[in-house]
């Protein structure tokens, strides 16, 4: 498998800091619950929370939506543990590709009556979208390439890479 750097670690670090500043401004005076989508978003979420300037809570969901490089119907493996009614939620996702997973999650959480629900994605592939969903905070818009590193994987491999790579065919 041939990997090529798409976004380097310094560019990622800089953009995560900028996102944290924007989120901190928007949530000033509030205590949002950051809902990380496991497993892919864990590195992004960890770096993001270290840069935030507002008090937060953290929760997680786990939704299986890929096998290898192929998408599948979302399947919830882990749901949020806390009552989210009246709370400000910020879903933290590694990548929005077809949008099906994040759309599914939003539809699952909205009936629980959060005060607000926003989406923060490190990567966005708008040309692959199959549903009408947009992130409120986006790190990078990327072309239609399969990416790994910085938490992203193929069958649980390559998450540990510090840069974001695309898989060259």
The answer to whether residue 47 is catalytic is: no
The answer to whether the beta carbons of residues 142 and 126 sit under 8 Å apart is no
Question: Which uninterrupted H or E stretch holds 119?
Answer: strand 116-124
Q: Which of 94, 97, 124, 153 is catalytic?
A: 97
* 126 three-state secondary structure: helix
The answer to whether the beta carbons of residues 3 and 165 sit under 8 Å apart is yes
Strand order in the sheet with 116-124: 70-78, 57-67, 33-38, 88-96, 116-124, 137-141
Q: What is the DSSP string of 23-87?
A: HHHHTTT--PEEEEEETTTHHHHHHHHHH--S--EEEEEEEEEEETTEEEEEEEEE---S--TTP
Catalytic residues: 97
């Amino acid at each position: 498998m041939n990997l090529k750097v798409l976004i380097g670690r310094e560019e990622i670090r800089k953009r995560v800091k900028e996102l944290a500043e924007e989120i901190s401004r928007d949530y000033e005076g509030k205590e949002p619950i950051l809902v990380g989508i496991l497993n892919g978003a864990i590195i992004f979420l960890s770096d993001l929370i270290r840069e935030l300037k507002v008090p937060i809570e953290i929760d997680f969901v786990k939704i299986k939506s890929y096998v290898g490089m192929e998408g599948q119907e979302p399947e919830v493996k882990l749901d949020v543990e806390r009552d989210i009614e009246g709370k400000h939620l910020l879903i933290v996702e590694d990548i929005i590709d077809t949008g099906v997973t994040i759309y599914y999650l939003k539809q699952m959480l909205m009936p629980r009556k959060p005060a607000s629900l926003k989406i923060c994605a490190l990567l966005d592939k708008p040309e692959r979208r199959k549903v009408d969903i947009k992130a409120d905070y986006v790190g990078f818009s990327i072309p239609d390439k399969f990416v790994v590193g910085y938490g992203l994987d193929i069958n649980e491999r390559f998450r540990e890479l510090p840069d974001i790579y695309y898989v060259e065919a």
